[in-house]
Structure 1
Amino acid sequence: MLERDGREGRTEVTFVLPADTPPGPVSVVGDFNEWKPGTHELTPRPDGTRAVTVALAAAASHSFRYLAAGDYWFNDDSAEGRPDGNSHLAT
């Protein structure tokens, strides 16, 4: 799930997943962090989910995926898909 909060000149996007699905560490990897795993790792929240917030330029388009333990790549069901297989996010 994606949560968006517009700020002056940027959009803060929070990437949210259930606590244990998939199990183990998960990071969001995309063109906004040069596809570097571990740069934006999701951390537990009090409500039982895990999340990470990333500040992105407003009026931009980004591709991303999640990377879990065991080299398991997956998309966000709440995001638009792209022909290249990645999730798409417009800010």
Structure 2
Amino acid sequence: MLERKRRKDRTEITFVLPAETPPGPVSVVGDFNAWTPGTHELRPRPDGTRAVTVALPTKADHSFRYLAAGDYWFNDDTVDGRYDGNSHLST
């Protein structure tokens, strides 16, 4: 699930997943972090989910995927669409 907060000069995207689905550490990787695992690792939140927030430029398109333990790649079902097999979002 994605949470969006539009600011004057950027959009803050919070990537949210259930606490243990999938199990183990999960990172969001995409064109905004040069597809580098571990740069944006989801952390536990008090509500029982885990999340990470990334500030992105407004009026831009981005591709991303999640990477979980065991080299398990997966997409977000709540995104704006898919492109080349990746999740796609517009800010």
Measured against the shorter chain, the TM-score band is over 0.9
Amino acid at match of 2:82: G
Determine whether 1:71 maps to 2:65: no
Residue 81 of structure 1: aligned partner: 82
Determine whether 1:27 maps to 2:27: yes
Residue 44 of structure 2: aligned partner: 44
Q: Percent identity between the aligned chains?
A: 79
Q: Distance in 2 between matches of 1:11 and 1:50?
A: 20
Q: Which runs of 4+ in 1 moved over 3 A?
A: none
**1:2-41 deviation digits (Å, cap 9, x = unpaired):** 0000001100000000000000000000000000000000
Amino acid at match of 2:56: L
Amino acid at match of 2:60: A
In the TM superposition, residue 54 of structure 1 has moved relative to its aligned partner by 0.1
**1:37-86 deviation digits (Å, cap 9, x = unpaired):** 0000000000000000000000000000000000000000001112x100
The normalised TM-score by structure 1 is 0.98
The normalised TM-score by structure 2 is 0.98
Q: Distance in 2 between matches of 1:7 and 1:41?
A: 23
Structure 1 unaligned runs (5+)? none
**CA-atom RMSD, angstroms?**
0.4
Equivalent pairs counted in the alignment come to 90
Amino acid at match of 1:65: R
